[in-house]
């Protein structure tokens, strides 16, 4: 069989979207990097500048110095995200919801960009948490990350809860921390019930998150993968497009709109 051109792949993905009723978008770091947010694992990523062994859940929980290091990194990440905006990949996925096609977004990202682009909070399942929110591990009081960032700018190195002086922690999953139970179960259920899973910007190497597209396939859904690099599931995809999510979906969505008129 002749290899498809990019135009043919884009047409095929648009047709799959039009025919589908329950789409799950599975997004990874590649979606965020298009907004200028560096990923963790790639060359030049976060772990090329920080030692990941110093950023474990146990380090954060049990040592003051560990919490200090975490908050130094979180301050950098928070300030970077404050000046970034959703990109065309986020916009396209938000449009799928407006068109009544999207069941949910399952994301490995913690930046809240899908919600900022227009996806409903209850349709975004953040498997690794949300960096825009902070909670007290003792009394469960909640804080917006923006407020905690202001404390850090004022010189507080390890912020504590104003109510009980308990340890504050962002709602993100650290190395060595258990995956969130509700989000993991809900993501699996949604993946098993979709009719099309679109992977955008994920190399599908981080588990258990990367099981979700497999669950979709096992349940009879179509699989589309948009990613610059190879993934272990490329050979199983019904449509495989090499490229950036925003650039690809910017070409897909006008064709979807045209067919839905």
Banded pLDDT at 76 (limits 50, 70, 90): confident
Other CB atoms within a 10 A radius of the CB of residue 178 amount to 8
Binned at pLDDT 50, 70 and 90, residue 227 comes out as very high
| Residue 90 among the catalytic residues | no
- Whether 49 shows a pLDDT value over 90: the answer reads no
Residue 23 has pLDDT above 50, yes or no: yes
Catalytic pick among 62, 114, 128, 238: 128
Among 226, 233, 126, 238, which residue's Cα sits nearest to residue 172? 126
Region class of 141: left (phi > 0), else alpha (psi between -120 and 50), else beta: beta
pLDDT tens for residues 122-150? 999 999 999 989 999 999 999 999 999 99
pLDDT at 21: 96
Question: pLDDT tens-digit profile of 210-221?
Answer: 999 999 999 999
Quick one: pLDDT at residue 40?
54
- Mean pLDDT, the chain, whole residue set: 92
Residue with tokens 């930046």: 111
Task: Give the domains, in start order, of the chain with CATH numbers.
Answer: 1-37+86-128+179-261 (3.40.50.1220), 39-83+130-172 (3.30.1600.10)
The model's confidence at residue 199, banded by pLDDT at 50, 70 and 90, is very high
Q: Is the pLDDT of residue 154 over 90?
A: yes
| Averaged pLDDT, 236-252 | 97
How far is residue 144's CA from residue 47's CA, in Å, rounded to a whole number?
Answer: 26
C-alpha torsion angle, residues 231, 205, 96, 241 (rounded to 10)? -10
Q: What does the pLDDT average to over 25-37?
A: 92
β-sheet with 168-172: strand ranges across: 142-144, 129-136, 168-172
Answer whether residue 15 shows pLDDT above 60.
yes
> What is the rounded distance in angstroms from the CA atom of residue 111 to the CA atom of residue 174?
14
């Amino acid at each position: 069989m002749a290899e498809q051109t990019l135009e043919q792949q884009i047409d095929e993905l648009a047709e799959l979207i039009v025919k589908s009723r329950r789409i799950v978008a599975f997004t990874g770091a590649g979606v965020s990097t298009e907004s200028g947010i560096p990923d963790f694992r790639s060359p030049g990523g976060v772990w090329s500048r920080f030692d990941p062994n110093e950023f474990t859940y146990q380090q954060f929980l049990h040592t003051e110095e560990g919490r200090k290091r975490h908050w130094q990194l979180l301050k950098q990440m928070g300030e970077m995200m404050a000046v970034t905006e959703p990109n065309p990949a986020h916009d396209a996925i938000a449009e799928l919801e407006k068109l009544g096609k999207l069941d949910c977004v399952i994301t490995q990202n913690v930046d809240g960009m899908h919600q900022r682009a227009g996806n409903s909070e209850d349709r975004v399942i953040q498997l690794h948490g949300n960096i825009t929110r902070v909670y007290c591990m003792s009394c469960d009081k909640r804080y917006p990350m923006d407020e905690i960032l202001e404390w850090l700018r004022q010189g507080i190195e390890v912020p504590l809860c104003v109510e009980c002086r308990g340890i504050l922690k962002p709602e993100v999953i650290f190395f060595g921390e258990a995956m969130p139970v509700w989000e993991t179960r809900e993501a699996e259920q949604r993946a098993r019930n979709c009719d099309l899973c679109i992977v955008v910007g994920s190399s599908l190497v981080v588990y258990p998150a990367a099981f979700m597209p497999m669950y979709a396939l096992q349940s009879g859904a179509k699989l589309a993968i948009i990613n610059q690099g190879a993934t272990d599931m490329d050979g199983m995809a019904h449509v495989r497009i090499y490229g950036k999510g925003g650039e690809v979906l910017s070409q897909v969505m006008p064709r979807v709109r045209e067919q839905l008129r």
